[in-house]
Amino acid sequence: MEIRYKFPKLNIDEKKYKGYEHLTLDKQMELLPKKIKFCKKCIISNQRPRTEFDEDGVCNACRYAELKFEGGIDWKGREEELVELLDKYRSKNGNWDVVVPGSAGKDSATVAHQLKARYGMHPFHVTWAPFIYTDIGWQNYFNMVQHGFDSLLAWPNGLLHRKLARVAFELKGDPWEPFTFGQKAYAYNIANKFKIPLIFYGESGEIEYGGSFKNWDKSHESPADWDELYFKGAGIDILLEEGVKMGIFTKDEIKDNCFDFYKAPSLEEIQNLGLTMHWWSYYKLWVPQENFYYAAKNTGFEADHMRTESTYTKSFSIDDRLDPFHWYLAYIKFGYGRATREACSDIRCGHITREEGVYLANRYDHEFPQKYFNDFLNYLDITESHFWEIIDKYRLPHIWMQVDGKWKRRIIVSNYSLDGEEPVGHE
């Protein structure tokens, strides 16, 4: 039985809250195409923000997968680039020489271990804590540290973090966003404070899973890209400002320095240190399932003993009890869920067929993550009726319709028609 947590009330100013006009800050939603189409190679739809389809009806992530698996990328040359880069930064006296942000899940564990074991680096592993650890998530973090890594675990101010998650849930349709802020910025802050000018993240999600391809041929990105690519067009300062108007934050709370780690250092500080970040997936062929095998062998990583709700896997994103609701909100906002996301990756890597992906998506995408629902409600200090009120606010009319008082998606992914034309959907 997993640990049961207790959370104090958030002490919201109900008068301000009831008088607040509950706008939506997610800039992505207004840009979604009104006609839903599905990729001919995987099962993603054009509702995934920033994903583009070519004239043949294939998404940009599938086209990139063709490049990386079929000889379109010179991996030998990329390896030479990696060695040259690491030779430049490798410490001669055992000091930390690279910051590796991650949860100690299969991906970050693989990157950290390979940097240390294969390339002689001295990684400093840093973790922005999950909202609420799962038992298996905590176990995997502990296991990795015991396999020979220095690690720093950051717990932001719990009360303010919960308030920020509440604001993000209501105004962005994504309670997980405060984790994204820290996941991106914390590594930069630690690198800056410890004067370690190199950061290595795992994969570029925009490229590997579909999204903006503005950095597709680069090993890095800039914090200047974050609002567009990760924060839905509105960063933490806007959320804090609106949180005060809502009565969720007080003005005194947002004056505190508790939010420093949610923001990257200034561009001037980054430039003065010569701080640079890189994607491991730029230099190495990125296959999540292979990362699982590698981490299990080398850092003690273990899959959960049960299938994760809303999908068919046991080893991806299993450290946080709130994580399933990030994916459930994606399902509500964009019409595709966690099973689609993981099936698309498996299709591109050649693990399953498109037909199998269609089955898995239709079997699991709609599954409600019931296991941690009470934890979610208590963490955000909301009622179940309030939860569904916010959920229904994010159902777009070109994606959802009501039939006999129940919400149904207008179109779901299905297999190719017999003549091999467009993948057909069911209405």
Q: What are the structure tokens assigned to 274, written together?
A: 């010569």
Confidence band for 223, pLDDT divided at 50, 70 and 90: confident
Q: What are the structure tokens assigned to 168, written together?
A: 């993000």
Q: What is the pLDDT of residue 331?
A: 97
Residue 257 has pLDDT above 90, yes or no: no
Residue 116 has pLDDT above 60, yes or no: yes
Q: What are the structure tokens assigned to 356, written together?
A: 């199998």
CA 276 to chain centroid, in Å, comes to: 21
Confidence band for 84, pLDDT divided at 50, 70 and 90: very high
Residue 420 has pLDDT above 60, yes or no: no
- Looking at residue 372, the DSSP 8-state letter turns out to be T
SS3 of residue 253 by DSSP: helix
For residue range 272-330, what is the model confidence (pLDDT) as tens digits?
999 999 999 999 999 999 999 999 999 999 999 999 999 999 999 999 999 999 999 99
Predicted structure pTM score: 0.93
As a whole number, the mean pLDDT across the chain is 93
Q: What percent of the chain has pLDDT over 70?
A: 97
SS3 of residue 378 by DSSP: helix
DSSP for 82-118 reads: HHHHHHHH--SSS---EEEES-SSHHHHHHHHHHHHT
For residue range 375-392, what is the model confidence (pLDDT) as tens digits?
999 999 999 999 999 999
Query: CA–CA separation, 374 vs 380, rounded Å?
Result: 10
- Mean pLDDT of the region 8-31: 92
- Mean pLDDT of the region 74-96: 97
Q: What is the pLDDT of residue 1?
A: 67
Residue 418 has pLDDT above 80, yes or no: no
Handedness of CA 257, 260, 266, 271 (dihedral sign): positive
Residue 417 has pLDDT above 60, yes or no: no
Residue 87 has pLDDT above 90, yes or no: yes
Residue 228 has pLDDT above 80, yes or no: no
Confidence band for 416, pLDDT divided at 50, 70 and 90: low
Residue 86 has pLDDT above 80, yes or no: yes
Beta bridge partners of 401: 408
CA-to-CA dists, residue 83 to 15, 107, 119, 120, 191, angstroms: 59, 20, 8, 11, 21
Question: What are phi and psi for residue 101, nearest 5 degrees?
Answer: -80, 145
Residue 348 has pLDDT above 90, yes or no: yes
Residue 117 has pLDDT above 70, yes or no: yes
Helix axes 338-348, 354-364, angle to 10 degrees: 170
- Asked if 12 and 248 touch (Cβ cutoff 8 Å), the reply is yes
Q: What is the pLDDT of residue 427?
A: 39
Q: What is the pLDDT of residue 4?
A: 83
Confidence band for 3, pLDDT divided at 50, 70 and 90: confident
Domains in the chain (CATH in brackets) are: 14-29+79-401 (3.40.50)
